[in-house]
Amino acid sequence: MADSTEEAAVATQPEVFRNYRDRKKCSPEEDVRLEKQHFWNVINAFKYYRVHVHERVNRAERQFQCLPHHHQQILTNFHCHLNKIRDCIDRNHEVLQAIVHNCLHMFENMEYGENGDPRKVRPSSTFDMDKLKSTIKQFVRDWSEEGRTERDTCYKPIVDEIQRLFPPEKCNLSQVRVLVPGAGLGRLAWEIAHLGYSCQGNEWSFFMLFSSNFVLNRCDEENALTIYPWIHQFSNNKRSSDQTRPVSFPDVNPQSLSADADFSMVAGDFQEIYSEPEVWDCVATCFFIDTAHNVLDYIETIWNILKPGGVWINLGPLLFHYENMANELSIELSYEEIKTVILKYGFIVEMERESVPSTYTENDRSMLKYLYDSVFFTARKPEKQLTSGDQTPKNDAKESSLMKIS
C-alpha cells in the first residue's frame, strides 16, 4: 500500500509542465528574446566543445597518474593514445568552428544581432555538450559512407514507399509536396528532393540547423571533410584505434540536386509553424513522433496539414524524449494506443510493419549497440472523411524561419 505521507507530499507539490503550450503565454517580445538567447547559447556550445573534451582527456591523464608506477609502465601506449584523442578534438573543433562561422545570417527572416565579445566563451551545460556530440554523430548517419547501412534501414523504406505511392509514370513529381518534420541533418529530405519531389525539411534544433546549413550550403566536394565522432566514447572499445578513427563527409555532393529541384529547410517547432490545412501530399516522419510532449498533437497536426487523399509515412521507435525530464509533460503511449488514435482521427492504415530492425547513429565497432525494433506504417487521410479531427487552422501560428539553400 502507498505510504500516506508520500501521497500527501505528491498532492501538495503539483508538477509544473514548462514549455508545453505554456510557451504561448509569453509575449512575442519575450519569445524573440528567449530565442536569441538560445541561439547564442548554442553558438557558445560549439566554441566551448574543445575545452570541454580536452578536460575529459586531462581527467583520464590525471587518473592514470594516480596509478602505481609499475602499472603505468605496463601501459606504454596510454599517453600516446590520449595525445591522439587530443589531436582529434582539435580537428573536430576546426569543423565545428567552420559550421558556426557566418551562421548569423543563415535564416531569411530572422536576425540574431550581436552578443558581446565573440572571443569570450562560457562553460556550456552538460546537456548542450551531449547535444553537440550527438550532432557530430548525426553526420555519420546522414552524410557519410559509414552511415549507408543505417540509412538503408531507416530512410530507404520511406523513400521506396514514397516512390510506390507517387510513381513517376503516374505523377508529376515536382507537384508532389512532401514534408519531413524533425529532419535532423536533412539527408532524408535531400534524397526525396533528389528524386524530383518537392520536399521541405523542418527542424527546430539549432545544433542540427547550423550543421545542416553547413552541409547543404557550404559543402560541395565529396568526402572533403573529416570528423572523429567516436572520441567521446571511452568505454566499449575493442581497439584503441576504434576511438580515434576518422569519418569523412559528405559522401555525396549536396549541391548535386538538379537546378529546378524544389528543396527547402524550415526552422521552427513543427506544431507551431505547420498550421495551414490540406497542403501536403505526404508527411514523412523518421525517428520523430516520440519527440512529442503529447503525440496526439503531432497526429492532429499531420491530419490537418495533409490534403484529402494524402499519406503519412512513419518509421521509428517510441523512445519518448521527455520521459525523464523534470517538469516537462510527457505522454508515453504504446504503439497499440497510438494506432488507435490514428484510426480515431480517420486515417486508414494501408501498410504496416511492426518489426523493422533499425539503429540510430550506431558506432559499428562498439562493444555496446542498441537495436530498435521500429514500426513502419503508411496511413492515408481519406478523400472523403467519415470522422474528423480538429481541421480548423490554428490562429496562433508562428512565423517560420526559412533557411537559405543555395
Ligand X SMILES: C[S@@+](CC[C@H](N)C(=O)[O-])C[C@H]1O[C@@H](n2cnc3c(N)ncnc32)[C@H](O)[C@@H]1O
Q: Which residues contact ligand X by CB under 6 A?
A: 141, 154, 181-184, 202-205, 208, 269-271, 286-288, 291
Cα dist from 368 to 233, 239, 240, 340, 364, whole Å:
11, 14, 15, 34, 9
Of 243 and 374, CB closest to ligand X: 374
**C-alpha torsion 237→371→313→165, nearest 10:** 90
Report the first-to-last Cα separation within the chain, whole angstroms.
Answer: 63
Of 85 and 129, CB closest to ligand X: 129
Cα dist from 66 to 61, 234, 249, 287, whole Å:
9, 18, 39, 43
* Minimum separation from the CB atom of position 233 to ligand X (A): 19
Of 217 and 243, CB closest to ligand X: 217
Mention every residue, 6+ apart, whose C-beta is less than 8 A from residue 94: none
- Shortest-Cβ-distance residue relative to ligand X: 182
Cell (9 digits) for 51: 575545452
Of 228 and 270, CB closest to ligand X: 270
* Minimum separation from the CB atom of position 139 to ligand X (A): 11
Q: For 21, which DSSP code?
A: S
Of 88 and 333, CB closest to ligand X: 333
CA distance 256 to 150: 22
* Minimum separation from the CB atom of position 72 to ligand X (A): 42
* Minimum separation from the CB atom of position 393 to ligand X (A): 18
Cell (9 digits) for 136: 557530430
Of 171 and 325, CB closest to ligand X: 325
Q: What angle do CA 375, 380, 381 make, to 5 degrees?
A: 135
* Minimum separation from the CB atom of position 360 to ligand X (A): 7
Distance of CA 5 to the CA centre of its chain: 42
Of 181 and 196, CB closest to ligand X: 181
Of 89 and 360, CB closest to ligand X: 360
* Minimum separation from the CB atom of position 318 to ligand X (A): 12
Residue 361 · residue 140 · CB < 8 Å: yes
* CA max distance for the chain: 78
CA distance 211 to 96: 9
| Short-list 107, 106, 108, 406, CA closest to 259 | 406
* Minimum separation from the CB atom of position 286 to ligand X (A): 4
* Minimum separation from the CB atom of position 74 to ligand X (A): 42
